[in-house]
Structure formats: structure tokens, C-alpha cells
Structure 1
Amino acid sequence: MTIAPPSPSAPGARDAPAAPLLSAQGLEVAFPGRRGAATARAVDGVDLDIMPGEIVALVGESGCGKTTLARSLLGLVAPTGGRVAFGGEPLDYSGRALKAYRKRVQLVLQDPSGSLNPRHTVYDAVAEGLRIHGYTGDEGEAVSGALARAGLRPPERFLLRYPHELSGGQRQRVVIAGALVLEPELIVADEPVASLDASVRGEILALLLRLREELGLSALVVTHDLGLAWNIADRVAVMYLGRIVETGDVEQILTAPRHPYTRALLSVLPEAEGEPVVLTGEPPDPSKVPSGCRFHVRCQILASGEAGRAGVADDCRTKELPVLEGGNRTQVACHWAAALPQAEVPAAP
């Protein structure tokens, strides 16, 4: 492997801020409606940076736009506004440039059974990327090395097996090996443990952490589970209806959340104290984004009168919030949280 995390002892390493490996600026993805229906704003203005060697968790309910955002960052969906940059260079959507980019940024899907061709052996599944990208080295050595790094040891035991002969955790490791074989700099993992038994999830999360430590890999982990973010991420970005609504250091966000939506997501974790917050209704239609704060129609703070007591109820309903910056400082897009000093925001349930 040629990828390594920056040495902390290098001259100036502590002083010079690192540049983002992957950066989205003002990113928008819209899908036109059928037969004159309104355009659906799936991603509606997102700034997001991922630093070298960093694991960022992108968290939100189903339908909030997080998978569309991830696909746009991978170049699978062209943005309708804004831009994506990798290594400081804007992403080029021409076929040859995208092929080179996807060698450096790999996708790991949530369902290993759907990701693997049942007629292909483990060897062929892992070697597929090498063949697509015209690898000229020792293919067998590269495949065996990727399987070993993914925790399938000795790799010779697995090379000629088929997916149906493996456990769910082993299949997910094969998918991860298929990504690692191209020596990427960044992995985008979409719900990487959602389809696995609880007993196996910890092993896969530990694997991702080990790969970051050993190879300097960066990762964007897309999930609906804030508990997973707590266990694996350095930083968390909470997404709602196409926008990042709260972002920052994972411990800061998950121990002292300021946005009502983040607080609601945390309240349903098994270890949470107090009663869970039950949000009314479904996330709004992305073709009909509400005025003001896009969460206000479901917000427990507004419904309880707390926003009114803070003097921001009208702002919640009518005043749009700005797009949060993509950096790593703690930020929140909430009129109520902004109206109160951080020390006065009530503790999360």
C-alpha cells in the first residue's frame, strides 16, 4: 500500500492545517418531476469536507437525501449546482476522468448479497475492479492481500468459494476487499452494517477503524444510526430534507446536541435517558420544502412553545437558515439554538 497518514512529527505538521481530501461546496441535486410536477430538491445546498484519515458519519432518516449526496460525491449523480473537489481539484465528469477518480474513491454498499454476483467466486469478485482498471501487476497477489486486509485469513481458504457459502459478515468483508484491492484513498460506506447481525456489526466497524489506522484511509459512513456514528466516526453531519442541520466533533454533537432533530434521533437510542421524542408525520416532500426552517413542521421545540418563549417562533416558520460550512467546527442550523447561549440549551433527553 502506498497510502499512509501524515506523520505528526513532520516539520510544520502541527501548524499547517490539512487541506480536505474531498470537499462539496454548495452542492445541489434536483430531480425533475413527471408530467409537470415540481422539481424534487434531494440535495439542496450542502458544504461538506472530509479530511485525510478522517471518518465522517452522515446521519439522517430514510429520504433525507444522504444516499443521493453520497452518490453525487462519488460522481454517480452529477450535481445540478455547486461542485465536488478531490485533492483540491474539481471533479471532472468525463468518462476517463471519472474512471480514474473511482479508483481513488470506492463504494461499499449495505447489502453484500446484492453487491456480489452469485455466479462469481470470491476471487473473481475481488479481482473485478483490477480488471476494469487494467491492472498490470500480479492479480492473484493483489486479491489475496486485499482479502487478508479485510480479515479473511488465510485468503486461500476463500478464493474459490461462492457468496452462498459465506456468512453475512464474510460477504461484507469480501465487498470491502473488492474496494481495498484498488488501494483507494477514500471509502464511501452506505449503511455498511445495516443488514448484518448485531454480533457481526462490531467486527466490521472495528475493521474500518483498523484500516484507517493502518492505511490512512478516509471514510464517509452513511447511516441512520447515531449509535454507529458514536462508535466509529471522528465527526458527524446530521442531514434533514437535503441540508446538513448540525455538524461537528462526534462527541460534542452526541453528548450536547443543539438541533431538535439531532435530539430526537438520539432520544430513541437504547442507552438514552427519558422518554423518546416521537416526531409527528413523515419528512416533507423534497419538491415542497417548507418555508423557514425546513424542520419546523415536525419540531418538538416549536410545538411545545419553547421556541415561542425564546422569541423565535415566527423565524422558525418564515426565515430560512444559511447553509452550514463544510469545515470541522461545531455548527447548527436552528433559530432556537442560535437564540440561546450554548450553556442555556437544555440537556438532551
Structure 2
Amino acid sequence: MSTTETDPRDAPRASGGGEAPEPILSARGVEVAFAAGFAPGGGKGTARAVDGVNLDVSAGEIVALVGESGCGKTTLARVLLGLERPTGGVVVFEGRPMRYGSRDLRAYRRRVQLVQQDPTGSLNPRRTVYESVAEGLRIHEGTTADEAERVAGALSGAGLRPPERFLARYPHELSGGQRQRVVIAGALVLDPEVLVADEPVASLDASVRGEILRLLLDLRDELGLSALVATHDLGLAWNIADRVAVMYLGRVVELGTVEEVLAAPAHPYTRALLSVLPDAGEGEPVVLAGEPPDPKQVPPGCRFHPRCPVLASGEAERAGVADLCRTVDPAVLGGGAERRVACHWAAADGTGRVRAEAGGAG
């Protein structure tokens, strides 16, 4: 199922059986709405970029947030980083709601670090590797006596060894994979507990994508780091994640372990995303009708129903849920580690694989 050349799945998963650990970072009912000018039908519109999301990341766990471009995953990542303030709900870190005072955010951002998508764009071409990695350290702590040692340690931890070879180089002297490692080192130098990575390998060649994924797994195993990885790539999620949250039009529509969601998907949207992977197995790829709806005009009922192949094929009608799909919004999924899906048809299809949370929006 991987779309990368190196398969890091032989690394041990952090989560196993038994009771789920207390989450280190959580979104609880998070909503983000933007005034969006004039809607196509006339009048001002409000775009609901994130529309009620509950999501937990436990210590030492990697959670993949998967969905098409525009589904809200980058906005949610920004909220979890404290870069965007939610219009509803709350972000909780180590059991405490996030506070937005400048001193509080400064302390928080030491512990929850961003790994950006484009290492070329995020690195200043006029700064050496040393200066780029030391920047965050200087912002948070000023110049310290052990700065050089900590920068070298972060570069080594990110796989740039020996670090002395890279300290005086500039971004244009590095490969794409090396630049991404410098970006990761810039996060590691502050000894964070959580990394939030937005499409961390999207700009890299296939030959080095697996190396960066392996690095993230090694950091999880060696340092106990947690990570939320936002991606459109289900192959990446299969290779790196302990759990997967599938997002559509501002909502998480399916949630579970990587094996549950990607080996036995229950939501028609997840099934469609998986069907186009090169080694998805038998059957034709599912081509979804149309484009994702405008977040200013969320459809009634299930927000996926205008594009749903199960509804279009008559399967939902045979299951007796077609009217529900068109008129009743499935409940907002809860957080935690339980297997969940927001789909009337999955709740009624008789397979017994998933107990869906369906009904009025909660």
C-alpha cells in the first residue's frame, strides 16, 4: 500500500492493546470559521474550515490526519500549534486548555513544534545550517553557553552526521532530504514533546521520502515524541501512523488504528481514497463525482452525500438509510482511541465491523 520506495513499517508501533494512555494533545469540539466575502448564491458567506473536531494525540503516538486539499487539515494543524485561534471548542495540552497570552504561547511553542511542508521555502537562503537550527533556540532562550552543542546534537538526531560537515553550509548546497532534516533539527533543538508535520514529504523525491518517514519513527521510538502528520497520502499514513483520522469538509469522518481504517475502511470516502492507491487490490478505482463542496455551503444531512458512491449506486436505499443520508447530519465523532465512523450506511450495513456514531449532530 505504500507509495514510497522505503517501507518503514517494520518499526514497532507505539500503541498496542489495553487501555489507551492519556492524550498529551487534544482538540475538543474545535471549530474555525472565516468570513469569506460573498457566497456564489449571493450574500456574505462564512466558511467553516473546521466544523467540530475531537481528536487526541497520546504520548509516543503518531496520528495521521488524512484528506483532500481544502478539507481543513492544515487549519486544524495551525490551531493545534497555537497559530490560529479556534472560533469554537478548545485545544488541551497535558490536561490544560491552551491559553493565548504571549507568554503562554511562547512556552507552549517550545513544546509543540512545527515541521513545515516545503524545506526550501522555510529555510532562509542567506543563513547557514547552524544559524537556521539555532534560530528557535535564540528566540526562546537567547544565546546560551551550550548553543553549539545543542545545535550539533539536533542535527545528529535528525540524521545529519557528523554534524560538523553541515554547520557552515547553505540551503542551496543541500539535497531536498537534507534540507528537510535541517527543518526537523530546528524543531528538535528545543526538545519538544510533540511535532505537528504538515505534508512533511510532499516536496521530496520518492527515493528519500522513506528515509524521512523512518526518521520520524526513530524519533518517536528513541525520544518518545508524539506527532500529528497532516497528509493527503494514505500510503504515508499506512507507513508511519499508529492511528488515522480521515477528514472531509471540516469534519473527521472516520477514526481508528491504521490497520482498522486502512485495511477495513467503513466510510465510503475512505474507501474511495484507498481505491486509487497502486496496490489497493482488486476492483476499479472509485471516481468521486464533482469537487468537494464549498465550505460556505455545507450540504444538509451527511456532508459527503452529494458525492457518495454508496448513495448513487442505490446501496444506501437498499439499506434503508438514503433519506437519513440526505437529511440527517451524522454526529460529530468523539475523540479517544475507539474505532468510529460518521456514516449512516456503515451503521446499517450489517457487517458488524464498526459501530457508527450516527444521528443528529452532537
| CA distance in 2: counterparts of 1:21 and 1:123, whole angstroms | 31
Counterpart code for 2:146:
D
Deviations 1:38-90 (A, max 9, x none): 10000000000000000000000000000000001111110000000100010
2:303 counterpart (294, 299, 302): 294
Deviations 1:156-198 (A, max 9, x none): 0000000000000000000000000000000000000000000
| CA distance in 2: counterparts of 1:295 and 1:107, whole angstroms | 30
1:218 counterpart (218, 222, 226): 226
Structure 1 residue 209 and structure 2 residue 221: aligned? no
Seen in structure 2, the aligned counterparts of structure 1 residues 84 and 140 have a Cα distance that, compared at 3 Å, is same
Counterpart code for 1:236:
V
Deviation at 1:341, TM superposition (A): 2.8
2:276 counterpart (264, 268, 277): 268
Per the alignment, in what secondary structure is the counterpart of residue 187 of structure 1?
strand
2:264 counterpart (240, 256, 264): 256
1:320 counterpart (313, 316, 329): 329
Per the alignment, in what secondary structure is the counterpart of residue 342 of structure 1?
coil
Q: TM-score, normalised by structure 1?
A: 0.93
1:198 counterpart (198, 206, 214): 206
Structure 1 residue 336 and structure 2 residue 345: aligned? yes
Structure 1 residue 76 and structure 2 residue 83: aligned? yes
| CA distance in 2: counterparts of 1:33 and 1:64, whole angstroms | 16
Structure 1 residue 42 and structure 2 residue 49: aligned? yes
| CA distance in 1: counterparts of 2:18 and 2:259, whole angstroms | 24
Deviations 1:93-117 (A, max 9, x none): 1111001100000000111000100
Q: How many residues align?
A: 334
Deviation at 1:126, TM superposition (A): 0.1
Deviation at 1:343, TM superposition (A): 4.3
Task: Name the counterpart of 2:320.
Answer: 311
Per the alignment, in what secondary structure is the counterpart of residue 133 of structure 1?
helix
Structure 1 residue 99 and structure 2 residue 102: aligned? no
Per the alignment, in what secondary structure is the counterpart of residue 228 of structure 2?
strand
Deviations 1:192-222 (A, max 9, x none): 0000000000000000000000000000000
Deviations 1:100-140 (A, max 9, x none): 10000000011100010000000000000000002534100
Task: Name the counterpart of 2:70.
Answer: 63
1:147 counterpart (155, 160, 164): 155
Task: Name the counterpart of 2:30.
Answer: 27
What is the aligned-residue identity percentage? 74
Deviation at 1:342, TM superposition (A): 3.0
Counterpart code for 2:29:
G
Per the alignment, in what secondary structure is the counterpart of residue 252 of structure 1?
helix
Deviation at 1:37, TM superposition (A): 1.6
Task: Name the counterpart of 2:360.
Answer: none
Q: Cα RMSD between the aligned structures?
A: 1.6
Seen in structure 2, the aligned counterparts of structure 1 residues 17 and 271 have a Cα distance that, compared at 3 Å, is closer
| CA distance in 2: counterparts of 1:344 and 1:308, whole angstroms | 20
Seen in structure 2, the aligned counterparts of structure 1 residues 137 and 52 have a Cα distance that, compared at 3 Å, is farther
Task: Name the counterpart of 1:3.
Answer: none
Structure 1 residue 166 and structure 2 residue 169: aligned? no
Deviation at 1:18, TM superposition (A): 2.4
Task: Name the counterpart of 2:3.
Answer: none
| CA distance in 2: counterparts of 1:109 and 1:279, whole angstroms | 29
Is the 2:20–2:337 Cα contact (8 Å) retained in structure 1?
Answer: no
Counterpart code for 1:90:
P
Deviation at 1:33, TM superposition (A): 2.1
| CA distance in 2: counterparts of 1:276 and 1:182, whole angstroms | 44
Structure 1 residue 278 and structure 2 residue 278: aligned? no
Task: Name the counterpart of 2:5.
Answer: none
Per the alignment, in what secondary structure is the counterpart of residue 113 of structure 2?
strand
| CA distance in 2: counterparts of 1:31 and 1:83, whole angstroms | 17
2:131 counterpart (114, 124, 130): 124
Deviations 1:249-285 (A, max 9, x none): 1001111100000000000000012210000111000
Counterpart code for 2:58:
M
| CA distance in 2: counterparts of 1:344 and 1:170, whole angstroms | 43
| CA distance in 1: counterparts of 2:165 and 2:285, whole angstroms | 46
Q: Which runs of 5+ in 1 are unaligned?
A: 1-6, 9-13
Per the alignment, in what secondary structure is the counterpart of residue 34 of structure 1?
strand
Deviations 1:211-261 (A, max 9, x none): 000000000000001110000000000000000000001001111100000
Deviations 1:294-333 (A, max 9, x none): 0000000000000000000010000011111111111000
Task: Name the counterpart of 1:177.
Answer: 185
| CA distance in 2: counterparts of 1:91 and 1:343, whole angstroms | 38
Seen in structure 2, the aligned counterparts of structure 1 residues 16 and 232 have a Cα distance that, compared at 3 Å, is closer
